[in-house]
Amino acid sequence: MNWILRVANVSKSFPDGADTRSVLSAESLTIGPGEVLALTGPSGSGKSTLLNLLAGTLLPDSGHLLLRTAAASGDEVIVIDELSQAARTRLRRRYIGYVFQFFNLVPTLTVRENVLLPLELNGLQRLSDEALGRLSTLGLADRLDDFPDHLSGGEQQRTAIARALAHQPVLVLADEPTGNLDAENAEHVVDLLIGQVRALGSAMVLATHNESIAAQADQIVRLAP
C-alpha cells in the first residue's frame, strides 16, 4: 500500500492527581493518498489527543508516528515524534493542514488574505492561483474581499477549508469541523472537505461525533474512554 500516514503502537497518558490516566493505548493505523479516516467516540476518548499527536503538538509516551512527504529528491519518511519542537513546527506549517471547529480565521484579514497566508509563510506563492480557484469551487468567489465577521458560519468554515488546503498538505486534520454548524451546512461542508482532500490526494483524519459524517470515511476508528 502506498501510505501517507502510519501510527504504530502509540500510547499517551496524562497525570490525574496522584495517578496517571491512560488516554490512548497502543493505537495503530495506516492511511493512503486520498483516504479519509474518521475518529469517533465520546468526549474524553482521545480523539483530540490523537490529532494533537499527529500534529506534533504532543509527543507519545511510546510508539511512533510516521509521515511520508513528497520531496524534490523523492519520497521522504519523517518520524514526527523524533523531531525537535522547532522541526515539528516547520512540519505543521509545510505538510499539515488543520480544520478547526471554531474556524480560527484571522479576523483582520479578508477571505483572500486568510487563504493566501499559508503560501506566504511557506514561500509557495506559485500556488496562489490554484488556492484562490478553490474558493470558487467552495462557492466563495464573490466573498474574497470580505472579512470573517461578515460571513455565515458555513462560509467561514469553507474559507477555513480553503486555507487548510492552500499549501497542498499531505495530511489534513479536522477536529469536529461541523460542530459549530447546523445540520444542512454540516453535510455540505463535509462533502466539500472530503471531495477536496480526495482531489489533492492527501490523507485526512477527521474527528467527529456525527455517525453519518463518519460513514463517509474509508476507515472508522472508534475510541473508547
Report pLDDT for 164.
Answer: 95
Average pLDDT value for residue range 154-181 = 92
Q: What is the pLDDT of residue 204?
A: 96
Cross-sheet strand order for the sheet of 19-31: 19-31, 5-16, 62-71, 74-79
For residues 200 and 193, what is the distance between their CA atoms, to the nearest angstrom? 11
Q: Please report the domains of the chain, with CATH numbers, ordered by start residue.
A: 5-222 (3.40.50.300)
Q: What are phi and psi of 150, to 5 degrees?
A: -100, 0
pLDDT band at 196 (very low <50, low <70, confident <90, very high): very high
Summary mean pLDDT of the chain: 91
- Which grid cell is 147? 472579512
pLDDT in tens, 70-106: 755 567 899 999 999 999 999 999 999 999 888 899 9
Determine the Cα angle at 106 with ends 101 and 110, to 5°.
115
**pLDDT at position 74:** 63
Q: Which pTM does this prediction carry?
A: 0.92
Range scoring the smallest mean pLDDT among 44-53, 67-76, 188-197 = 67-76
DSSP readout, 22-56? EEEEEEEEEE-TT-EEEEE--TTSSHHHHHHHHHT
pLDDT at 120: 93
Nearest Cα to 135, choosing from 109, 163, 108, 169? 163
Model pLDDT, residue 1 = 56
* pLDDT reported for residue 187: 84
Which SS3 state, helix, strand or coil, does residue 148 take? helix
- Asked whether the predicted pLDDT for residue 142 surpasses 90, the reply is yes
SS3 147: coil
Cα distance between residue 68 and residue 150, in whole Å:
38
> Quick check: 125 pLDDT over 90?
yes
pLDDT band at 185 (very low <50, low <70, confident <90, very high): confident
